[in-house]
Structure 1
Amino acid sequence: MSDTVEGRITSLTTTRDGLPPTTEKSGAGQGTEAVKDVIFGSIAGIIGKTIEYPFDTVKVRLQSQPDYLPSRYTGPLDCFRQSFRAEGLSGLYRGISAPLIGAAIETSSLFFSYRIAQDVLQVTLLPPTQGVPLSLNALVACGAASGAFTSLLLTPIELVKCQMQIPLSSSSLRGPGPFKIIASVFRHHGILGFWHGQLGTLIRETGGSAAWFGSYEGVSALFKKYNARSPSPSSATLEFSPSLPIYQQLLAGATAGVSYNFVFYPADTIKSRMQTEGVEPGSNVRRTFWASGKALWGQQGIKGMYRGCGITVARAAPSSAFIFAIYEGLRNWWG
């Protein structure tokens, strides 16, 4: 596939309203687009997080097992079984309040900053040819920029989420709530304590978002090319349609979810361990990203880095598929 994906990339933002990329938007129009990104991205993110959250809880519990103790779980199924037996379904959804807020912020921020990055590239890199769609490489770069920005918003939310997802001790019937965790982190580590694990989030979000948007755009372009060659009577209109059939959107979104999670999964594992170690009040255990990664690699090697990856990829496919389909569907419905 060439860098321009044979000139048929239709990005999520530049032609989402059915207008050609050359169409100039007023300040009010840009404001409307931003509102759409926030509202539709938030809705899609909340629904996606609700679908995937029990699997995310299992992933965090697998990732956060201490490296100085024998493994508590033999694998995802064993973790799910033990967690369900000890805490029921509510235990797998424990701490979902912060992630729902985080999902709304993350997804809306990703789509918003992705559109802004494309607008900036269209103006700064292609002033004489603004009617030409951005290349796939440019869209991947926009995805990376979007992820880097979003990581700053996401790290504090994920720190609270991860600390709420760790298994309860046998002497405790209820884990600490989000406000108690927030107060504890601020009391013991100050405001910067909420960004503990930021480097891991930055690596995961920058690389993962580049893969997320890049995979979606690339697979969508392939579907558009296939639709244009199809003998179906509607193929002539599909080539220039701002959206794909729903099943193709779902497949493209599922591919994006798998791409996002697999390649940069070790960064997420290290980040989760950093954010869940030393959660006892007064604990001063705050290892750096590289120290945590070195300790994990020394004890468990590559297997430890990818612990929980299978269940993460499995839940990411349907979640991401629904996020893109819902987001695009709401945009097309809005008009």
Structure 2
Amino acid sequence: MDTQPAAFGNDATLTDSAPATVTNATKSHTNEALHDIAFGSIAGLVGKIVEYPFDTVKVRLQSQPDHLPLRYSGPLDCFKQSIRQDGFRGLYRGVSAPLAGAAAETACLFWSYSLAKDLLQTTSLFKRTTSGGEDLPLAGLITAGAMSGGITSFLLTPIELVKCRMQVPLQSPVDPTLHAGIPLSSKSLSPFAVIRDVFRREGISGFWRGQLGTFLRETGGTAAWFGGWEASSLYLKSRIAQRTSTAVADVQLPLSQQMLAGAIAGMAYNFLFYPADTIKSKIQTGELSQHGARQTFLSVGKALWRTHGFRGLYRGCGITVARSAPSSALIFTIVERLKQAFG
């Protein structure tokens, strides 16, 4: 008679433990998501402050009108002319909106990357592996990066449109009616002035002008970004593990090697899909229409190729890749260090 209540008691204990396990798992995922958002925001702010002057030069090089002689002979000439005309502060024109955007972008990238990894781990698309402490092989991590970039592109396009139009006020075309309605000669252009102008002329959809270029760049570029970070980190960890006879999953990279892996990731992101970014920048800062036809990703790409060839698609790439190395190194290192301290 005594065994029956005991049995019921055991069942009750097992039943009670299931919700507790689910609750703990939910809390763990929630905390991880909050960490991704918070740490990504901080890292994004720092990275944007470091890279912004170089990004301004990159956008100005990309956005030079095709029907006019090139204003800048290269990145150094662009730096010199910009500083001579508007001072060093001019290279930070419009930085307020990108700072907020960088925080949101990087937070979204790391959050959606974790979300994509969790989703892929529940599928049978990729074989499980414990190498490097990850539950996905490198192909799965690259796929998760592509998914993360695709999601983030929809948030990023409006932010970049405002940023790009604020970065090119010194480049007013001869015929101002060809430009997308922005008074480029103004040195006091604010984010709100750009937002009002875009909404007045193009409506809500105008903020996603250049979305295809952003989507292509972010999908492929973020796959290369996270893939470059994961592959470089795994390689460096493997070398340390061999020297110290330690499991790869237990290796913590030193600061210098974390930054090296982050720098490699940043250069991979910017170089591989740079033409998509060039076309996107020209769409966002250039003509609303040409000969009555609305500018598209394909038409702008064809025009750029006919006028300047392959070099035109990679205009400003050198300075972009160079500035991406320290910026990306800081972003990944800050996130990793914060996760180690508070994760």
How far apart are 1:127 and its partner, in Å? 10
How far apart are 1:185 and its partner, in Å? 0.4
Task: Please tell me the residue identity of whatever aligns with 2:152.
Answer: T
Task: Please tell me the residue identity of whatever aligns with 2:135.
Answer: P
Q: Does 2:336 match 1:328?
A: yes
- The equivalent residue for 2:269 is 260
CA gap of 1:268–1:126, structure 2 versus 1, over 3 A, is: closer
Of residues 173, 181, 190, the one that matches 2:203 is 190
How far apart are 1:121 and its partner, in Å? 1.1
Task: Please tell me the residue identity of whatever aligns with 2:32.
Answer: E
Runs of at least 5 residues in structure 2 that lack an aligned partner in the other structure: 1-21, 173-183
Structure number with greater CO (CA < 8 Å, separation at least 6) is: 1
- In 2, Cα distance between equivalents of 1:213 and 1:24: 30
TM-score (norm 1): 0.86
**SS state of the match for residue 220, structure 1?**
helix
Runs of at least 5 residues in structure 1 that lack an aligned partner in the other structure: 1-22
- In 2, Cα distance between equivalents of 1:44 and 1:125: 33
Larger proportion of helix: 2
* Matched pairs, number: 307
Deviations 1:215-260 (A, max 9, x none): 1100111111100111xxxx24573336311111100000000000
CA gap of 1:199–1:61, structure 2 versus 1, over 3 A, is: same
CA gap of 1:57–1:271, structure 2 versus 1, over 3 A, is: same
CA gap of 1:129–1:76, structure 2 versus 1, over 3 A, is: closer
How far apart are 1:169 and its partner, in Å? 6.3
Equivalences for 1:57-136 in 2 at 5 Å? 57-125=56-124, 133-136=135-138
- The equivalent residue for 1:162 is 164
Task: Please tell me the residue identity of whatever aligns with 1:184.
Answer: D
| Structure (1 or 2) with the larger CA radius of gyration | 2
Would the aligned equivalents of 2:94 and 2:191 in 1 still touch at CA under 8 Å?
Answer: yes
**SS state of the match for residue 26, structure 1?**
helix
**SS state of the match for residue 187, structure 2?**
coil
Equivalences for 1:32-47 in 2 at 5 Å? 32-47=31-46
Would the aligned equivalents of 2:128 and 2:137 in 1 still touch at CA under 8 Å?
Answer: no
Deviations 1:21-63 (A, max 9, x none): xx99611211111110110000001100100000000000000
Q: Does 2:212 match 1:199?
A: yes
- In 1, Cα distance between equivalents of 2:209 and 2:339: 36
- In 2, Cα distance between equivalents of 1:29 and 1:173: 50
Would the aligned equivalents of 2:274 and 2:314 in 1 still touch at CA under 8 Å?
Answer: yes
**SS state of the match for residue 124, structure 1?**
coil
Task: Please tell me the residue identity of whatever aligns with 1:217.
Answer: E
- In 2, Cα distance between equivalents of 1:221 and 1:302: 34
RMSD (Å) for aligned C-alpha atoms: 2.4
Deviations 1:157-181 (A, max 9, x none): 0000000000336994524210010
TM-score (norm 2): 0.84
Judge which range, 284-293 or 153-162, deviates more.
284-293
Task: Please tell me the residue identity of whatever aligns with 2:282.
Answer: R
Of residues 190, 194, 214, the one that matches 2:227 is 214
- In 2, Cα distance between equivalents of 1:285 and 1:107: 35
